Each structure stands twice: as structure tokens, then as C-alpha cells.
Structure 1
Amino acid sequence: MEWKQMPVGPVQANAGLLWNEKNEALLIDPGAEGGRIKRKIEKLELKPIAILLTHAHFDHIGAVDLMRETYKIPVYIHQYEEKWLSDASLNGSKLFPVVENVEGKPADHLIDREGEMTIGSFTFEVLETPGHSPGSVSFYFKEAAIVFSGDALFAGSIGRTDLPGGNQKQLLDSIHNRLLELPEQTIVASGHGPVTTIEQEMVGNPFLNGFSL
């Protein structure tokens, strides 16, 4: 299993691709620059089969409809953010004058629980990691030893909690009880910035130091 991230859009959110030996691919958080993402998919000769969304803030969903229509694939999002894809006030695009309002189509499938999920030949674990937003989830691929954490956990930082539905205590609980329970060598592919590992964040993340266990 292979993977790649590419920063897209005005706030450089990471769009993710993860694919198998058959070149079937999952597209994670296509936030903007759909044409550029499409060119990368074509260059790698991938066949996308689904779009996974860690959450529905505008910088992670801006190219969803283009990717869905181009490849005729379904979109998955947590049920708590079911309405966010089509509501610029909820997804935050209305709050930022530097971006156009993002108002897309509803998701095809709603995630209503954490645990194992299978899409095509991919089997992975959905971890509910709210706090940055109510329906934030992380996708853990054990075989590839990687978790796509969205905006829950970053290299040396954590997600902001000052947007609607944000809750810092809930976010810290999510990180501690879900993400930090993963094997220490697990790669953390965050929604912004460079990759890190669970071990690096356990040891050196100043936002997690001193969090009561």
C-alpha cells in the first residue's frame, strides 16, 4: 500500500491519496485545486473508488464535487456533519472572505460509528476524533501504519477549537483516547503541514505535555 499527500488551496490543506497494488485509490479530503489533484491521479495511473472526509471544513471539501463527478465515486462523511457540505455557514467558507462559498451536494454515505470499515479491497479503522469539529474522524490503515488525522493532530500542534462546534477538552480527549493509543511508529498524515509520528507527538508536542492521563 502506498500513499501521498499534496497541499492545496489558499490555506494549504493536505489532500491525501492511498492506493493498493491494483492501483485502486481512496481520495482523502480533496480540499481545492481539483484539476491538480486529477493530474496527480492520472500521473500515478490510479483508479479512485471513494472519497473519505475527515471533516467538512471548506478547506477540506472544496474539490469534492469535481472529484465525485469526474470519477463517479461515493463520498463518506460523519453523520454529525451531514449538512455541512452544502452550508457555507457551517463549513466555514462564509467566514473567510478570501475564499468562495463552498456549497456542494450531500454525501453519499454517512459514518455513524467508529470501528472497522471496508470499501472495495480496503479495510481500515474509523476513529471518532471530535473537538476540532463535531464530526471529525481519523482513518487508520494498520497495514500501511498510517493514520489520516484531519485537523485533530499536527506535527507539534493540535487543531484549532475556536470555530463553531469546536471544543478543546473534547479534542484533547480524542487525541489521548484514540490517536495516542495507536502504535508509536504510526505515521500521522495531518490535514496541514508535515507528517509526524505518534511517538514524536507523545514526546514533543507541547499541547499534549501535561495532559492528565
Structure 2
Amino acid sequence: MNWEQLPLGPLQTNCYIISNREKECLVIDPGSEGNKLIQHLQKRGLKPMAVLLTHAHFDHIGAVDDVRNEYKIPVYIHRLEKKWLGNPAKNGSNAFLGQSIAAEDADHLIDEETILNAGSFNCKVLETPGHSPGSISFFFEESGFVVSGDALFAGSIGRTDLPEGNHRQLIKSIHDKLLNLPENTVVLPGHGQDTTIGAEMDSNPFLNGF
């Protein structure tokens, strides 16, 4: 299984394309620039099977409907943010952009840690709240990587000064759910470069001394 990082939009939010040998793929956090993303998928000859969302902030959802409508595929999100997709006040677009970004309701709500099956893909859903109440991470155990959204970054962590953010909860999520993964697990964050669990355990200044 392969992963590809495609930064999109004004905040360069990382969209991840997870593909297999059969050219099927998952699209995780299509944040913006729907036409660019679709053209990229077409150029690669990929067939999307589902859209997965780590959370529903505006910079992660801007191209959700573009991809869903183009490929007629389902969208997955945690149930705690089921109303955020269509609510610019909740997803932050009104406050940060001065314009409304919204998407239709998700097709499937995730309400617990589980194995998510979409097409021929499966991954473990980890609940990692703190940056937002419904933040989740997707762990592809056999391939050795986790898509962490805005929970854990290379040398940093997600901000918690947004509505319903909780710093203590985020630190607990990272320690209990992410740092318990194998140290060689590649971390694919919502912004910036990839890292590993081991590297963040050793040098992330926000996690030392917890």
C-alpha cells in the first residue's frame, strides 16, 4: 500500500491519497482545490473508494463534495462532528476566512474505535480528541503509518485554542493512542512533513515532561 501527500489550499493542508496495486484509493482530508485534486487522481489513473476525515475544520473539508460527487463515494467522519460539515461557525470558516465553507452531511458516522473497512482497504480508527472533539487518526498497521490529522505534527502538536479544543485532552490522546504505536510508525500529519512515532517521543518539546 502506498501513500501520497498533496498539500492543498491557503493553509497547505495535507490531503493523503492511500492507494493499492489495483489503483484503488482512499482520499483523506480533501481540504481545498477540488479540481486540482480530481485532475491529480485522474492523471494517476486512481479510483477513489471513500473519503475519510480526521476532523471537520474548514481547511480539511473544502473539497469533500467535489470528490464525493465526482466519484459517487461515501464520506466518513466521527459522530461528534456530524453537524460541523454544514456549519461554517463550527468548522471555523466564517471566523478564519470571512466566508462560508460547507459540505453535505457525511454518509457514515464513526462512533467508536473500530476497524474501518472501505472497499478493499481497512484501517484502525483511533479516537484522538483535543484539537477538536471528534478528531480521529487512521492507523494502517500492516503498512506502518498513521494519518494523525491535526493531533500530532513533526516537532509540534495541534492547536487547542479553537472552539471545543482541549489541551489536556490532546496531550492525553497523543500519549495514550499515538505514542503507544510502534516507534517506527510513520506519522502523516495534517500540515508539514511526515515524521515517526520514535522521533516525536525523543524530541517533540510539547510532549516532554508529561
Once the 2 structures are TM-superposed, how far is the Cα of residue 203 of structure 1 from its aligned partner?
0.2
Once the 2 structures are TM-superposed, how far is the Cα of residue 100 of structure 1 from its aligned partner?
3.0
Q: Provide the C-alpha distance between the structure 2 equivalents of 1:123 and 1:65, rounded to a whole number of angstroms.
A: 23
Q: Deviations over 1:95-142 (max 9, x none)?
A: 113x63112210000001102121111111000000000000000001
Q: Provide the C-alpha distance between the structure 2 equivalents of 1:115 and 1:177, rounded to a whole number of angstroms.
A: 16
Comparing 115-124 with 175-184, which one deviates more in the overlay?
115-124
The 3-state SS of whatever aligns with 2:85 is helix
Q: Provide the C-alpha distance between the structure 1 equivalents of 2:70 and 2:121, rounded to a whole number of angstroms.
A: 21
Q: Provide the C-alpha distance between the structure 2 equivalents of 1:28 and 1:53, rounded to a whole number of angstroms.
A: 6
Q: Which runs of 5+ in 2 are unaligned?
A: none
* Identity rate, percent: 59
**Partner in structure 2 of residue 129 of structure 1:** 128
4+ runs deviating over 3 angstroms: none
The 3-state SS of whatever aligns with 2:187 is strand
Q: Deviations over 1:38-77 (max 9, x none)?
A: 1211121110010000000000000000110001000000
**Partner in structure 2 of residue 3 of structure 1:** 3
Q: Provide the C-alpha distance between the structure 2 equivalents of 1:141 and 1:176, rounded to a whole number of angstroms.
A: 18
The 3-state SS of whatever aligns with 1:185 is coil
**Partner in structure 2 of residue 156 of structure 1:** 155
Whichever residue aligns with residue 63 of structure 1, its letter is A
The 3-state SS of whatever aligns with 2:138 is strand
**Partner in structure 2 of residue 21 of structure 1:** 21
1:195 aligns with 2:186: no
Give the alignment of 1:75-94 within 5 angstroms: 75-94=75-94
Q: Provide the C-alpha distance between the structure 1 equivalents of 2:124 and 2:39, rounded to a whole number of angstroms.
A: 28
Q: Provide the C-alpha distance between the structure 2 equivalents of 1:104 and 1:18, rounded to a whole number of angstroms.
A: 22
Q: Provide the C-alpha distance between the structure 2 equivalents of 1:143 and 1:41, rounded to a whole number of angstroms.
A: 24
TM-score, normalization: structure 2?
Answer: 0.98
Q: Deviations over 1:3-38 (max 9, x none)?
A: 101111011100110011111100000000111111
**Partner in structure 1 of residue 38 of structure 2:** 38
Give the alignment of 1:167-206 within 5 angstroms: 167-206=166-205
Q: Deviations over 1:149-203 (max 9, x none)?
A: 0000000000000000100000000000000000100000000000000000000
The 3-state SS of whatever aligns with 2:125 is strand
Comparing 64-73 with 114-123, which one deviates more in the overlay?
114-123
Q: Which runs of 5+ in 1 are unaligned?
A: none
Whichever residue aligns with residue 159 of structure 2, its letter is R
Q: Provide the C-alpha distance between the structure 1 equivalents of 2:39 and 2:142, rounded to a whole number of angstroms.
A: 27
For the aligned residue pairs, the C-alpha RMSD in angstroms reads 0.8
